[in-house]
Every structure is written in C-alpha cells, then in structure tokens.
Structure 1
Amino acid sequence: MAHVTWDHTPPTTWIAMVDGQALCSIKRKDIGGWTAAWTDERLWPPPSHLPKALPQPTQFFSSLEDAKLAVEHALAA
C-alpha cells in the first residue's frame, strides 16, 4: 500500500505525493467543489450514473475530504 503525503500550495491546490513523486493534484474550483487530476497516465473510472462514459484523467468532487479519500483509495489499490 502506498503512503500518500499531501503538499499544500495555498490557497487552492493540494498535491498527492508518493515516494517524493507528485501523482495527483486537487484544485478548488471557483464555482465550488474540487477537481482531482492525475499527473501520470491514470484515469478515473466513469461515474456510476454514466456507465458508458470513457474514463477521464480528471474527476469532480463536492468536498476536499472526498477528493483526498478517493485519491488515497485509488493509490492504495
């Protein structure tokens, strides 16, 4: 299991780091919510309400906590 550390660039960006390598950035959106974007070739699975959608490198989250948990869960797999 990967140990994720978080680097914060105030006020709007969090970077998920594993072994000193940035793997995902989470940014606050002006319209509300947060987006998590992989910095490598990983993709987020399509949302359950759009099962035919293609996987995407960016996913929207309503809260920072939800975004961080999803990133940590994806990196633990």
Structure 2
Amino acid sequence: MSAITWTHTPPSWTASVHGETVCTLKGKDIGGWTASWSGERLWPAPAHLPKATPQATRFFMDLDEAKAAVEAALNS
C-alpha cells in the first residue's frame, strides 16, 4: 500500500507518493473534478466503452470519489 500525501493548493489537490507528484485533481467551473496523472500512467477505458483509448485525465462528479479512485489505482 502506497503512502499517499494530499496537498491542497486552491483550486487543485495534488497526490504525492514519497515526495513525487503522481496525480492532480482540479475543480471545474461546471462542477466536478478532473484527475490527471503525471507521467506515463493512464486511466483505463470505462466499462461501458470498452474500445475507448485509455486517457491520462478522467472526470469525477465528487472530490471524495476522485480521491478514492486515485488511491485505489495507486494501491492496485
């Protein structure tokens, strides 16, 4: 299990592991949050679009949902 540190610098949150930034969450004007990986990591295609290309950024409706998804991805 990775030790994830969250840093809040409005309007974004940054996830770090061992001092290295791995993901940034940014609030959107329309509501919701985008989670963008740093480096080579990609979000898998959603289950309802299995042929979609994996992307570096994914949209979430809720900050807690976005943080949980980042933590789950880093701990898998």
Pairing 1:40–2:39 present: yes
Deviations 1:16-48 (A, max 9, x none): 010000000000011110000001110000111
Task: Indicate the percent of aligned positions where both proteins have the same amino acid.
Answer: 59
Structure 2: give runs of 5+ residues left out of the alignment. Answer: none
* Cα distance in 2 between the residues matched to 1:24 and 1:49: 24
**Residue correspondence of structure 1 range 44-63 to structure 2 within 5 A:** 44-63=43-62
Structure 1: give runs of 5+ residues left out of the alignment. Answer: none
**TM-score, with normalisation over the residues of structure 2?**
0.97
**TM-score, with normalisation over the residues of structure 1?**
0.95
Match of 2:6 in 1: 6
* Cα distance in 2 between the residues matched to 1:34 and 1:49: 20
* Cα distance in 2 between the residues matched to 1:49 and 1:59: 14
* Cα distance in 1 between the residues matched to 2:60 and 2:15: 15
**How much has 1:5 moved relative to structure 2?**
0.7
Stretches (4+) displaced over 3 A: none
